Amino acid sequence: MPLQATVSNTATGSGQRAKSDTLYRGIFSATSGITIMGVAKIFRDSTDHVLQLDSFAVSAGPDLKVYLAKEYPPVNFINLGSLQYNSGSQLYKIPAGVNFSEYSYVLIHCQQYNHLFGYASLK
């Protein structure tokens, strides 16, 4: 069954998650010329999976998006929407049905210039 685009990237809160709630996590690494820091965490919030960018900060960019991707640079990906803030903790709902063993990267990607800013490999 194809994934349906029925989610919202509206943050559901920015509080810290208990470590035991986290299903997957990865530390951000930057691409050349970019500064990025923080941790990507996937947890389950009632019925939805949620991505949290924790202790996060990234260089400013014109059109930064948050992707869940199978690889980087992104070819097969899910666009979770525009990056909400360049720094600080933030949450993104994830569409139902995502297989995290396939979509195992969180990317910060400039869509307008097709430039990857940073990536985190989920473990």
Partner 1 sequence: MKKILFTGLLGLLVQNKIMAQGCSDAGFCTLPIRSTKIGHTAIQQRNALSLETSYNIGEEQTTIIGLSVQYDRKFSNALTWHNKITASNMHGAFGNAFNAGDIYSTVTYVPKGQKDNAVSFLAGVKIPLTGSNDKINGVSLPMVFQSSLGTYDFVAGASLLLAKWELNAAVQIPVINSNKNSFLSTYSPIPGFLSTNLFQRKADALLRVGYPFTAGGGKWLFNPNLLGIYHLGKDSYENIFGKREAIQGSDGFTLNANLQVKYLLPKNASLQFSIASPLVVRDSRPDGLTRSLVAAVGYSFGW
CB of 80 to partner 1, least distance (A): 8
Q: Is 65 in the site for partner 1 (CB under 8 A)?
A: yes
Q: Is 3 in the site for partner 1 (CB under 8 A)?
A: yes
CB-CB neighbours of 8 under 10 Å = 10
Each residue 10-49 as x (binds partner 1 by CB under 8 A) or -, in order, gives x---------------------------------------
Residue of 104, 105, 50, 56 whose CA lies nearest to 83: 56
The DSSP symbol for 15 reads: P
Q: Is 14 helix (H, G, I), strand (E, B) or coil?
A: coil
Task: Sort 20 into a burial class: Cβ within 10 Å, 0-12 / 13-18 / 19+.
Answer: exposed
Task: Tell me the number of residues near partner 1 by CB under 8 A.
Answer: 22
Return residues touching partner 1 (CB under 8 A). Answer: 3, 5-10, 63, 65, 74-82, 84, 95, 111-112
